C-alpha cells in the first residue's frame, strides 16, 4: 500500500524551514527519500532504517519513528536548490526489494 | 560512470503502433526497475529484474506491456499496441544488491512517451 505524504505542497522563502511527513498503514523497516527537480529524474537523498537512526544530506535531515510508522523530512534554512518534489518510498508488502512511492510533496523555495 | 542510459528521450507515436523503450543500467548493478510517472498516478513500479530475472511484474498494467532483460547491460519495455492513456514518462532505474535489498536506486533521464 502506498505511503501517505503531507503536505501536498509547500511554498517557502529562502532561509525558512519546512517539514514533510510520510506515514504508512503497515509496519516499516526502512523509509527512503528521493527528490525530483522539474523535468529531471528522481535522485536519492537518504535511507532511514529501523531504530530511529537519523541521516542527513546537506541541510536536509530526516527521522524515522517505526512505532508511529512514519518518517519526517526536515528542510532547514532552505535554499533555492531545494525546490522540487520530494517522494518517500517504503518497502512493498507483497514482494521484497521494491519500493512503493508516495504521491510526492512539491516544494517551492522563493528568493 | 555514464549513469543509467535510456533511449529514446522522447517518443511520439500514433495509437496502435508498437513502442520500444530501451535502458542500459549502470555497469555492475544487478537490479533494474521500470517505472511510469503520470500526474494522476504518480510514480508507479511496472516491473523489476534481479540478475536479469523478472522478480515482480505485478505493476505491468496489461498484456500490451512486456519487458525483457536479455543480459546484464540491456533491458527493453515494449507496448503493443500503444494507446493514448499510455502517455507518460517512463523511467528506468538500477541498483546493486540482491532481490531483497533496498539500496539506493539510480534513475535514468526518462523517456517521455506521447501516444496520439
Asked if A35 is an interface residue toward chain B (Cβ–Cβ < 8 A), one would say no
Nearest to B105 among A40, A44, A103 (CB): A44
Compute the average pLDDT of residues A28-56: 85
The pLDDT > 70 percentage for chain A reads 89
Which grid cell is A67?
512505532
Of A97, A99, A100, the CB nearest to B100: A97
Q: What is the pLDDT of residue A51?
A: 67
Per-residue pLDDT tens digits for B61-115: 889 999 999 999 999 999 999 999 999 999 999 998 776 667 889 999 999 999 9
Mean confidence (pLDDT) of chain B: 94
pLDDT, position A47: 87
Q: What is the pLDDT of residue A33?
A: 94
Picking from B58, B53, B56, the residue whose alpha carbon sits closest to that of residue B69 is B53
C-alpha cell at A3: 505511503
Interface contact B107-A42, CB threshold 8 A: yes
Nearest to A41 among B98, B101, B108 (CB): B108
pLDDT at A85 over 80: yes
Helix or strand holding residue A46 (H, E): strand A42-49
pLDDT at A96: 66
The reported pLDDT for the residue numbered A30 is 86
Q: Does the pLDDT value for residue B56 go beyond 80? A: yes
Q: Are strands B74-79 and B65-71 parallel, antiparallel or unpaired?
A: antiparallel
Averaged over B25-29, what is the pLDDT? 95
Average pLDDT rounded to a whole number, residues A6-12 = 97
pLDDT over 90 at A26, yes or no: no
Q: Cα–Cα distance between B88 and B44 in angstroms, integer?
A: 11
Q: What pLDDT, on a 0 to 100 scale, did the predictor assign at position B114?
A: 98
pLDDT at B67: 98
When scoring A91, A97, A104, A105 by the number of chain B Cβ atoms within 10 A, the one with the most, hence best to mutate, is: A97
Cell numbers that stand for A82 in this block: 531545494
The percent of residues above 90 in pLDDT, for chain A, comes to: 59
In angstroms, rounded to a whole number, what is the distance separating the alpha carbons of residues A9 and B11?
30
> How far apart are the C-alpha atoms of A79 and A76, rounded to whole Å?
9
Amino acid at each position: 500500500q502506498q505511503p501517505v505524504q503531507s503536505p501536498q505542497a509547500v511554498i517557502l522563502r529562502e532561509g525558512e524551514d519546512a517539514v514533510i511527513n510520510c506515514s504508512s498503514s503497515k509496519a516499516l523497516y526502512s523509509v527512503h527519500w528521493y527528490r525530483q527537480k522539474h523535468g529531471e529524474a528522481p535522485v536519492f537523498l537518504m535511507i532511514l532504517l529501523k531504530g530511529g537512526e537519523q541521516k542527513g544530506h546537506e541541510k536536509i535531515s530526516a527521522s524515522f519513528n517505526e512505532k508511529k510508522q512514519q518518517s519526517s523530512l526536515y528542510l532547514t534554512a532552505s535554499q533555492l536548490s531545494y525546490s522540487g518534489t520530494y517522494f518517500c518510498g517504503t518497502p512493498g508488502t507483497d514482494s521484497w526489494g521494491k519500493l512503493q512511492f508516495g504521491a510526492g510533496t512539491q516544494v517551492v523555495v522563493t528568493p | 560512470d555514464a549513469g543509467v542510459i535510456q533511449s529514446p528521450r522522447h517518443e511520439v507515436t500514433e495509437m496502435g503502433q508498437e513502442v520500444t523503450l530501451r535502458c542500459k543500467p549502470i555497469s555492475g548493478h544487478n537490479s533494474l526497475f521500470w517505472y511510469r510517472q503520470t500526474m494522476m498516478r504518480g510514480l508507479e513500479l511496472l516491473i523489476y529484474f534481479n540478475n536479469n530475472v523478472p522478480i515482480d511484474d505485478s505493476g505491468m498494467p496489461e498484456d500490451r506491456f512486456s519487458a525483457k532483460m536479455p543480459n546484464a547491460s540491456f533491458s527493453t519495455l515494449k507496448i503493443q499496441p500503444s494507446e493514448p492513456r499510455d502517455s507518460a514518462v517512463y523511467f528506468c532505474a538500477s541498483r546493486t544488491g540482491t532481490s531483497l535489498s533496498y539500496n539506493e536506486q539510480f534513475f535514468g533521464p526518462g523517456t517521455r512517451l506521447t501516444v496520439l
